């Protein structure tokens, strides 16, 4: 997606050869116009697939997921990472290990929002090792619902996440695919 790649080049900061900071438009400050375009692009790629729900994870997945939900006309559920005061019973839960942060967290969604007939689209801001996406897919499978695809805003293609998800049979649509962050430079996969 051209506008997203340009935004990454203009405002992304390469923190190391593994980590890209995009606090200016995605992870802290949010660019609503870009987010709307991102929602439209996800909707274009997944139109006519019969999606009934979008599933994401707090916090940074929410903005792109909501815009995609608006375009596709379906509700958006965000999995919680932290204990919620009101979300306690009747949960689907999955454990997600973050290689980037070296922490394990339990993610959860309420059973009442996801049913066996649902056709779910997973959306997340980053794809690195694929563990968050797999955790979300696990929640969807627990509901006996179907994972129609996984939509990612920024994929770090030099990390194993994409291949892991493809190996499990998931359709992966990433709007920006980063080939390398070496030497402080962002390069994209040529498609």
Residues that bind ligand G4P (CB under 6 A): 19-22, 27, 59-61, 98-101, 125-132, 156, 161
- The C-alpha angle 77, 80, 86, rounded to 5 degrees, equals 95
Residue 99 beta carbon to ligand G4P: minimum distance, rounded to whole angstroms = 5
Q: Dihedral sign, CA of 154, 160, 161, 163?
A: positive
Nearer to ligand G4P, 52 or 94 (CB): 94
Distance CA 147, CA 39 (A): 18
Smallest distance from the beta carbon of 21 to ligand G4P, in angstroms?
6
DSSP string, 26-86: TSSS--HHHHHHHHHHHHHHHTTS---EEEEETTTTHHHHHHHHHHHT--EEEEBSS--SS
Cβ proximity to ligand G4P, 91 vs 127, nearer residue:
127
Q: Residue 20 or 52: which CB sits closer to ligand G4P?
A: 20
Query: Which is closer to ligand G4P, CB of 53 or CB of 156?
Result: 156
Q: How far is the CB of 180 from ligand G4P (least distance, A)?
A: 12
- Per DSSP, the three-state class of 3 is helix
Q: How far is the CB of 116 from ligand G4P (least distance, A)?
A: 26
């Amino acid at each position: 997606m051209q506008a997203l790649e340009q935004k990454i080049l203009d405002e992304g900061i390469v923190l190391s050869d593994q980590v890209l900071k995009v606090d200016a438009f995605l992870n802290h400050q949010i660019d609503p116009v870009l987010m709307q375009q991102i929602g439209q692009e996800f909707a274009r790629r997944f139109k006519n697939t019969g999606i009934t729900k979008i599933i994401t994870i707090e916090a940074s997945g929410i903005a792109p997921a909501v815009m995609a939900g608006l375009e596709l006309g379906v509700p958006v559920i965000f999995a919680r990472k932290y204990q919620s005061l009101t979300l306690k019973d009747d949960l689907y839960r999955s454990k997600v290990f973050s290689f980037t942060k070296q922490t394990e967290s339990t993610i959860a969604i309420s059973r009442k929002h996801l049913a066996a007939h649902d056709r779910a689209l997973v959306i997340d801001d980053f794809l690195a090792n694929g563990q968050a996406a797999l955790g979300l897919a696990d929640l969807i499978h627990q509901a006996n619902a179907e994972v129609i695809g996984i939509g990612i805003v920024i994929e770090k293609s030099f990390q194993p996440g994409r291949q892991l998800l493809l190996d499990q049979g998931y359709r992966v649509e990433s709007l920006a695919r980063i080939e390398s962050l070496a030497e402080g430079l962002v390069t994209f996969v040529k498609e």
